[in-house]
């Protein structure tokens, strides 16, 4: 609930975010091949829609670096940069991505974005950072280069352009980058991007004042044609959409998925810091609505931003009100700053994008990934290479595929441990006075006996009672083996279970009692239950028993449908937690 303290914190955070977004909005629009004003529109309307319909208190939407790169690469074969056709395709992409995201939200498929590997994400973001740096070197030198060229073509252009570089543009870019780096290092709480823009523009103005504007020859952003309500609409007419559809349709899916991957990562990261409980499907819907509605007010595809969301949280933002205040702040800045923005040198903007690109390359994250198991190192290298040389779109789909493979590989290897002899003693009832057993007898005639390690195991009340003096293992447990299972038992992991049971039969010839400890069993399907059914039938036939210990009743439906409950007997299935009837 809002109060004066929360509103004050939101105002401070919103004003800070509104100021920070201005240089980024202009730079990212240019990166996407769009006029600067479209970056400002995308920093206003999607932010409002996502704040109103999303789930996160702190995540802020708007133009995104990776999406901007992807948009430029997608549209480049079909239109000239910043042309009406280019703008129309960008707006249409926003509509298509929004529809896909809304569909995923309604189908409640937001959970799939929780399985996207962090290693893949780090590799993607690192690759995007490298692409940005290479793509802006031409603007940094004051040399015209083709936009959205593959990196193997862009690098020769940069090398060839060195001889044609404008020394004044290079010096302005260097001042912009150095001032940003110095402020970020020595005064990390200050808005280093804004200060970098100011320093770069002041230096360029000084050069032009001393040497003359013609002699310096700096290219400028130029006047923006801003509108208070920039209405637009997607265009699917055959004459305009048919030719580009083969590129726009797959790109829309990539943009939708890449945007939601980043949005879910940011929302979860902010929730960990704030303690908020995130509804990921609501967040997916919020992102979809922001893109769909944004396509009717001249916005290109957007998603949550790492920089703005972190700034919002660190500045004290408490509710989505801070995002709305940032919109108002940006609107006021545009009114007063538009004439100054028109005089911003292209090399200053390139310097800002170099800082943004370098900021995406997190050395600590890369180092941590490379120090992990070799599987993650291989995935990181593969996705990084795919991003740089194959394109962000292919890398996203490849990353999703590898994430699924890595998840299935881990899920197919549940932790299974055989405990016998002294190791298994922790699972035998010990040191429980009779009165404690009698007091916890359930409706089914079961009692509760205390395990060592403060665990609770249920045994029939007809079993022998134990007291504080009797700590020896009862005779009926002399030949018991405990099989601990952690993870999931499904068709892809039963081979590991079968191997463990085969190893056990070598030890006890299948004639000893077996306790299946499934306290940490996350899921079990019919195939996994069938393996346990066969093992239970084999041991019962040999005159032994199989007992099943579970944390709760979540697996009862599978136990019933597979026949496992009937085979081992309901009295031999025990639960750590009470069920809804109050039984143990």
pLDDT value, residue 71? 94
Exposure letters 199-235 (e unless 16+ CB within 10 A, then b):
bbbebbbebbeeeeeeebebebbeebeeeeebebebe
Burial class (CB in 10 A: 0-12, 13-18, 19+), 252: buried
pLDDT at residue 423, as a whole number: 59
Residue 449 tokens, joined: 């006996």
Distance (Å, whole) CA 493 – CA 490 = 5
CB atoms inside a 10 Å sphere around CB 445: 10
130: tokens are: 């490298």
Question: What dotted CATH number matches 415-575?
Answer: 3.30.750.24
DSSP β-ladder status, 480-489 and 456-460? unpaired
* Chain region(s) in the chain for CATH 3.30.750.24: 415-575
Q: Whole-angstrom Cα distance, residue 467 to residue 482?
A: 23
Q: Would residue 252 be called left, alpha or beta, if left means φ above 0 and alpha means ψ between -120 and 50 degrees?
A: alpha
Model pTM greater than 0.95? no
Residue pair 348/91 in contact by the 8 Å Cβ criterion: no
Q: Over its length of 584 residues, how does the chain's per-residue pLDDT go in tens digits?
A: 678 888 888 898 888 888 878 888 988 998 899 999 999 999 999 999 999 999 888 888 999 888 998 999 899 999 999 999 999 999 999 999 999 999 999 999 888 887 778 888 889 888 888 988 988 899 899 987 766 667 777 888 888 889 899 999 999 999 999 999 999 899 987 888 889 999 999 999 999 999 999 899 999 888 888 888 899 999 999 988 988 999 999 999 999 999 998 888 788 777 867 778 888 899 999 999 999 999 999 999 999 887 678 778 877 888 889 999 999 999 998 888 888 888 889 999 899 889 988 888 888 888 888 887 788 888 999 999 998 888 887 888 888 888 888 887 877 888 888 776 555 555 554 433 333 333 333 333 333 333 333 333 333 333 333 332 233 333 444 567 888 898 888 888 888 889 889 888 888 888 888 888 888 888 899 999 999 999 999 999 998 888 888 888 889 999 999 999 999 988 888 887 544 444 44
What's the rounded Cα separation, in Å, for the pair 524 and 527? Answer: 8
Q: What is residue 396's predicted lDDT score, i.e. its pLDDT?
A: 82
pLDDT of 316: 80
The phi and psi torsions of 441 (rounded to 5 degrees) equal: -65, 130
DSSP for 466-495? --TT--SPPGGGTTEEEEEEEEEESTTTHH
Count other C-beta atoms under 10 Å from residue 537's C-beta: 14
Residue-level pLDDT at 63: 93
**According to the model, what pLDDT value does residue 418 have?**
77
């Amino acid at each position: 609930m809002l109060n004066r303290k929360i509103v004050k914190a939101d105002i401070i955070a919103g004003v800070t975010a509104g100021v920070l977004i201005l240089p980024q909005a202009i730079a990212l629009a240019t990166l996407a091949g769009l006029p600067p004003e479209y970056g400002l529109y995308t920093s206003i309307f999607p932010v409002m829609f996502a704040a109103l319909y999303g789930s996160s208190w702190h995540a802020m939407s708007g133009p995104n670096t990776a999406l901007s790169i992807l948009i430029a690469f997608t549209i480049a074969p079909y239109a000239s940069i910043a042309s009406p056709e280019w703008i129309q395709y960008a707006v249409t992409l926003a509509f298509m991505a929004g529809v896909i995201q809304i569909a995923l939200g309604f189908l409640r498929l937001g959970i799939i974005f929780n399985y996207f590997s962090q290693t893949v994400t780090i590799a993607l973001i690192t690759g995007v950072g490298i692409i940005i740096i290479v793509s802006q070197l031409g603007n940094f030198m004051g040399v015209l280069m083709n936009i959205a060229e593959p990196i193997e073509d862009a690098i020769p252009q940069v090398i060839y352009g060195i001889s044609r570089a404008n020394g004044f543009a290079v010096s302005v870019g260097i001042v912009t980058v150095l001032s940003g780096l110095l402020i970020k290092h020595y005064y990390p709480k200050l808005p280093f991007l804004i200060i970098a823009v100011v320093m770069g523009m002041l230096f360029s103005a000084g050069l032009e004042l001393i040497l003359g504007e013609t002699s310096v020859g700096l290219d400028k952003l130029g006047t923006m044609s801003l509108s208070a309500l920039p209405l637009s609409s997607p265009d699917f007419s055959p004459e305009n959409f048919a030719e580009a559809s083969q590129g726009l349709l797959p790109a829309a899916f990539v943009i939708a998925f890449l945007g939601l991957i980043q949005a879910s990562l940011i929302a979860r990261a902010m929730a960990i810091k704030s303690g908020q409980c995130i509804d990921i499907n609501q967040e997916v819907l919020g992102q979809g609505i922001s893109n769909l509605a944004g396509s009717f007010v001249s916005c290109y595809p957007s998603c949550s931003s790492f920089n703005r969301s972190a700034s919002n949280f660190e500045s004290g933002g408490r509710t989505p009100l801070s995002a709305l205040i940032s919109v108002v702040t940006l609107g006021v800045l545009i009114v007063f700053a538009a004439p100054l923005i028109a005089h911003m040198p292209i090399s200053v903007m390139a310097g800002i994008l170099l800082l943004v690109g370098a900021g995406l390359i997190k050395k600590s994250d890369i180092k941590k990934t490379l120090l992990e198991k070799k599987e993650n190192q291989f995935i990181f290298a593969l996705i990084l290479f795919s991003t740089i040389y194959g394109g962000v779109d292919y890398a996203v789909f490849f990353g999703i595929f590898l994430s699924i493979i890595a998840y299935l590989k881990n899920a197919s290897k549940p932790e299974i441990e055989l405990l016998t002899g002294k190791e298994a003693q922790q699972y035998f009832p010990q040191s429980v006075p009779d009165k404690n057993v009698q007091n916890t007898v359930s409706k089914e005639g079961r009692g509760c006996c205390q395990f060592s390690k403060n665990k609770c195991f249920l045994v029939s009340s007809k079993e022998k009672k134990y007291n504080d003096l009797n700590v020896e293992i009862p005779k009926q447990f002399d030949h018991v083996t405990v099989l601990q299972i952690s993870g999931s038992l499904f068709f892809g992991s039963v081979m590991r279970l079968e191997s463990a049971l085969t190893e056990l039969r070598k030890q006890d010839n299948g004639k000893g009692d077996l306790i299946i400890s499934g306290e940490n069993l996350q899921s079990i399907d019919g195939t996994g239950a069938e393996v346990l059914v066969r093992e239970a039938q084999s041991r019962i036939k040999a005159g032994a028993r199989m007992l099943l210990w579970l944390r709760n009743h979540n697996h009862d439906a599978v136990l019933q449908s597979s026949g496992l409950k009937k085979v081992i007997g309901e009295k031999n299935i025990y639960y750590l937690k009470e069920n809804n009837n109050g039984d143990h």
